[in-house]
């Protein structure tokens, strides 16, 4: 009996030891300190996919009231993590709203879709003028923040949306787009994506022309989602600082979409910024294979299930029998920030949560109200007030200002 009890206790100890390390509960004093810092320098988040959530409802803004905390009462499709009360609690003063369209949409259909998504952002700003204001420059961001509103910037996710046309690129800029992610998950005619087979091994001649035109316009070149060859090509070609709007460090999570230390060093020389992503697949290696299996299952289900609600239900059943092996935490996000600071420097890191673009956020970062908790963890680790200000917003503001200077010099 004593032997049996010993074996049971040993097994329990081993099972406990295999669990991922948890983050200590945030110190209320550090949270309070973080909130005070964010009053001075609010969070500017590089990537939130809220506009796509509206597209699931035919872009009918009346279907979802983001002035409410509990969105489940008025949005049957998804439990969103973004609304004004939680944005305010999170200390958010600037947000790049992603105007994403799937890479399966191509040619003129892609152009129409991205224009419709840009229209969503304009309509959101018009619907909530007491909360949001469209920002077109770095000065706009700071001016809008001083008014107590959330500066709303537009980020295009995927170069397929311009349909190989510099004219379309220019027109999206005129409509307010201030960055473009060169690819999404699939290669395009002029650039390779991280998650596709190499085709161009970087940028084509036209791809370089796109980067130059973005520099001339003052549109940030975003190299999230692109292959390493494309990252390096864009960093070599761009005359202005580039951004990763929502990416992580490959040294900590070996996903092809993440950036190697070599790329991080190039980013520092370019004076650009990596805005850290909260998506667990890009945070910890133990989750990468599980997410790959989930993606394969979703693709398999899509072959026979066309209704999105039924597809989500079938995928939820798969998750019940194939649970996530570990769950990422706020500590994992802080680890990526620390690594980028170590390799590239604290001047080259920011926040690009990817909220509304994935399910299952890290423990401790369940919604947009949790940014102070992340900064409290960084304070616990020894980051200074100046570090927090840079990571929260000053770094991306500097990049915006620098891109505008380059644009003026090219015109």
Q: Is 157 a catalytic residue?
A: yes
**Strand 177-181 to 132-134 pairing:** unpaired
Whole-Å CA distances, 341 to 244, 276, 307, 379:
15, 11, 44, 14
Q: Could you tell me the two tokens for 92?
A: 């958010």
Catalytic residue, from 160, 200, 225, 348: name it. Answer: 225
pLDDT at 26 over 50: yes
pLDDT band at 22 (very low <50, low <70, confident <90, very high): low
Using a cut of 0.85, tell me whether the model's pTM lies above it.
Answer: yes
Catalytic residue, from 45, 49, 387, 402: name it. Answer: 49
Q: What is the mean pLDDT of residues 53-59?
A: 91
The residue among 408, 276, 249, 210 whose CA lies nearest residue 342 is 249
Q: Is 354 a catalytic residue?
A: yes
Catalytic residue, from 45, 133, 140, 157: name it. Answer: 157
Q: Phi and psi for 95 in degrees, rounded to 5?
A: -145, 125
Q: DSSP H helical segments within 128-204, as ranges?
A: 138-146, 166-174
Catalytic residue, from 45, 83, 133, 184: name it. Answer: 184
Q: Is 295 a catalytic residue?
A: no
Q: Which fold has domain 25-284+330-410?
A: TIM Barrel (3.20.20)
C-alpha angle 247-278-352 in degrees, rounded to nearest 5 = 55
pLDDT at 374 over 60: yes
Contacts of 35 (CB under 8 A, 6+ apart): 91, 372
| Domain limits, CATH 3.20.20.140, in the chain | 25-284+330-410
Q: Is 401 a catalytic residue?
A: no
C-alpha–C-alpha distance, residues 400 and 240, integer Å: 9
Q: Could you tell me the two tokens for 79?
A: 């439990």
**pLDDT of amino acid 69:** 52
pLDDT at 15 over 70: no
Catalytic residue, from 133, 332, 338, 354: name it. Answer: 354
Give the model confidence (pLDDT) of 105-118 as tens digits: 999 999 999 999 99
**pLDDT of amino acid 23:** 64
Whole-Å CA distances, 75 to 21, 55, 126, 132, 354:
35, 13, 21, 21, 20
Q: Is 348 a catalytic residue?
A: no
pLDDT at 74 over 70: no
Q: Is 122 a catalytic residue?
A: no
C-alpha–C-alpha distance, residues 47 and 304, integer Å: 32
Q: What is the mean pLDDT of residues 363-369?
A: 97
pLDDT at 154 over 50: yes
pLDDT at 1 over 70: no
Q: Is 327 a catalytic residue?
A: no
pLDDT band at 393 (very low <50, low <70, confident <90, very high): very high
Q: What is the mean pLDDT of residues 356-367?
A: 93
Lowest-confidence range among 77-86, 116-125, 332-341? Answer: 77-86
Q: Look at phi and psi of residue 11 and say left if phi exceeds 0, alpha if psi is from -120 to 50, else beta.
A: alpha
Q: What is the mean pLDDT of residues 130-155?
A: 98
Catalytic residue, from 47, 200, 339, 383: name it. Answer: 47
Give the model confidence (pLDDT) of 165-219 as tens digits: 999 999 999 999 999 999 999 999 999 999 999 999 999 999 999 999 999 999 9
**pLDDT of amino acid 115:** 98
**pLDDT of amino acid 38:** 98
* Length reported for the chain: 411
**pLDDT of amino acid 79:** 78
> Which element (helix H / strand E) includes 105?
none
Catalytic residue, from 160, 246, 339, 348: name it. Answer: 246
pLDDT at 18 over 80: no
């Amino acid at each position: 009996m004593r032997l049996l009890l010993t074996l049971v206790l040993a097994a329990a100890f081993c099972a406990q030891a295999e669990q991922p390390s948890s983050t200590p509960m945030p110190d209320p004093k550090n949270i309070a300190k973080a909130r005070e810092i964010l009053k001075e320098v609010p969070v500017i988040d590089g990537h939130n996919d809220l506009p796509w959530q509206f597209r699931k409802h035919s872009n009918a803004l009346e279907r979802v009231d983001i002035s409410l905390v509990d969105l489940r009462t008025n949005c049957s499709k998804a439990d969103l993590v973004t609304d004004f009360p939680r944005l305010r609690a999170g200390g958010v003063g600037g947000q790049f709203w992603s105007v994403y369209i799937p890479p399966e949409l191509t040619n003129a259909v892609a152009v129409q879709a991205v224009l419709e998504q840009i229209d969503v952002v304009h309509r959101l700003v018009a619907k909530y003028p007491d909360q949001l204001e469209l920002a077109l420059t770095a000065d706009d961001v700071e001016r809008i923040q001083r008014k107590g509103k959330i500066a709303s910037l537009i980020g295009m996710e995927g170069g397929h949306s311009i349909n190989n046309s510099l004219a379309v690129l220019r027109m999206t800029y005129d409509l307010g787009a201030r960055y473009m992610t060169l690819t999404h998950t699939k290669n395009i005619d002029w650039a390779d994506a991280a998650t596709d087979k190499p085709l161009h091994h970087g940028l084509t001649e036209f791809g370089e022309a796109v980067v130059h035109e973005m520099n001339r316009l003052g549109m940030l070149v975003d190299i999230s989602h692109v292959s390493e060859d494309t990252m390096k090509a864009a960093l070599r070609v761009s005359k202005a600082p580039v951004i990763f709007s929502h990416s992580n460090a490959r040294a900590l999570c070996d996903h092809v979409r993440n950036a190697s230390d070599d790329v991080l060093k190039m980013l520092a020389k370019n004076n650009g910024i990596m805005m850290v992503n909260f998506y667990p697949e890009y945070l910890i290696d133990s989750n990468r294979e599980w997410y790959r299996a989930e993606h394969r299952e979703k693709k398999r289900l899509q072959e026979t299930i066309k209704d999105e609600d039924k597809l989500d239900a079938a995928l939820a059943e798969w998750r019940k029998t194939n649970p996530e092996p570990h769950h990422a935490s706020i500590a994992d996000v802080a680890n990526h920030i620390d690594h980028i600071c170590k390799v590239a420097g604290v001047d080259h890191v920011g926040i690009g949560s990817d909220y509304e673009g994935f399910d299952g956020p890290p423990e401790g970062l369940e919604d947009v109200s949790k940014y102070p908790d992340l900064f409290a963890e960084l304070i616990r680790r020894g980051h200074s007030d100046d570090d927090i200000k840079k990571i929260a917003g000053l770094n991306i503001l500097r990049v915006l200002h620098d891109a505008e200077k380059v644009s003026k010099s090219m015109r």
